[in-house]
Structure 1
């Protein structure tokens, strides 16, 4: 086909006798190149999932190990489900008519296996300062937790008293027995509320042991060392060793042991 024929053919497409002018047909353009496959996102997702699985496995293994320990369920229950110890802030607690009042944390209930953690958290929330008061009303409980709580009280320079508080903040009598007395011993000073009672008894281990006598002696030695550190006479340990039942100390007796350091009335 000649050049003229090509031009005639193009003119025929540009001016159609039966309709508007149309353009000459063109060859279809080549399809655009496919975009490169991006794998960065997939790799990122893979590593995110892998890290999550590792973390979840670590937490699961740790939880299994924790729960496989003796008394672990008791600790978890006391820590997260139903704490046996309660603590509430008293904005102004009054120990007597001349007392101007001070902030206090009222602690009551049984000293459970996670009591020290709860106690520390409540103290942090209450923001008690040196000289503020911890009011105790407890039948006792875990010996080790009580020692930790007493150490916390001493490290923060807090006072202690066996008692509760009414709606007006006036301190009322209560009892503090067994391991509670170790918490009370952490206070400086330790107030003696009229009508309140401090009770002691021999501490024994509840776990299985091959030599219960040696274990009892070990516990007694630990209690003696703790009480001596807190400035309490060793005679309190002698009073504890006399009976497995609660022995309620007379106010004069507790004062002579230096367990009570500041009686609020004449014993």
Structure 2
């Protein structure tokens, strides 16, 4: 009994130390209690109005500290193939997690669009702002749904730091490198840096930046 108590105490102490790290509790909560995002699998959506249906995973909500792992699991369950779609509706969240999610989308050859869909596959406009734009940028093709909105702003770190200027430059460099890799113009980073509030891009701006690659003109 004494040995059992000592072993249990050791486990609890290690768990306390792990959870006492910055962000650890949030990660644990999202991983094991309640994810910050929700998802739905749609068997067939017609994104471009061509009549061709494709399978889609619709995700929405805040991008949390464990969202990338959650997203991979949802993609595996959805069994999407190259050319299938990820529909997005989010006001943002974790920058690093969003970048990983975008990388996963690109590696799997999936397309992206901002919107929600009902069970019949009908797409409705939605908003994708802040870190969500990085997920959207991961699409092999990035469809522009009429009425949907893409919003950008200057990214900041919540962590305490000794040199805020250096941290801001690091974040800007990371975002620039990621967007360039995804084929998006560096102009988007300039647009982000101009405001701390959400700046909603016009359709013309999103196209000029190559953020939207395929505008949808529905009949």
TM over 0.5: yes
Tell me what 1:203 maps to.
155
Partners in 1 of 2:155 and 2:202 — Cα distance? 20
Number of aligned pairs? 218
SS of 1:184's partner is helix
Matches within 5 A, 1:14-93: 60=12, 62-93=14-45
Which entry has the higher C-alpha Rg, 1 or 2? Answer: 1
SS of 1:169's partner is coil
The answer to whether the 8 A contact 2:86-2:110 is kept is yes
Change (3 A) 1:176 1:56: same
1:114 matched to 2:66? The reply is yes
Q: Pairwise CA RMSD of aligned residues?
A: 2.0
Matches within 5 A, 1:39-188: 60=12, 62-188=14-140
User: Shift in Å at residue 212 of structure 1?
Assistant: 0.7
User: Shift in Å at residue 89 of structure 1?
Assistant: 0.7
The answer to whether the 8 A contact 2:49-2:217 is kept is no
Partners in 1 of 2:87 and 2:8 — Cα distance? 42
Partners in 2 of 1:149 and 1:54 — Cα distance? 41
- TM-score, with structure 1 as normaliser: 0.77
Greater CA drift, 89-98 or 239-248: 89-98
Partners in 2 of 1:58 and 1:196 — Cα distance? 52
Partners in 2 of 1:55 and 1:175 — Cα distance? 50
- TM-score, with structure 2 as normaliser: 0.93
Specify every segment of 5 or more residues in structure 2 that has no aligned partner in the other structure, as ranges.
none
User: Shift in Å at residue 97 of structure 1?
Assistant: 3.4
SS of 2:106's partner is helix
Tell me what 1:3 maps to.
none
Partners in 2 of 1:171 and 1:59 — Cα distance? 49
User: Shift in Å at residue 59 of structure 1?
Assistant: 5.1
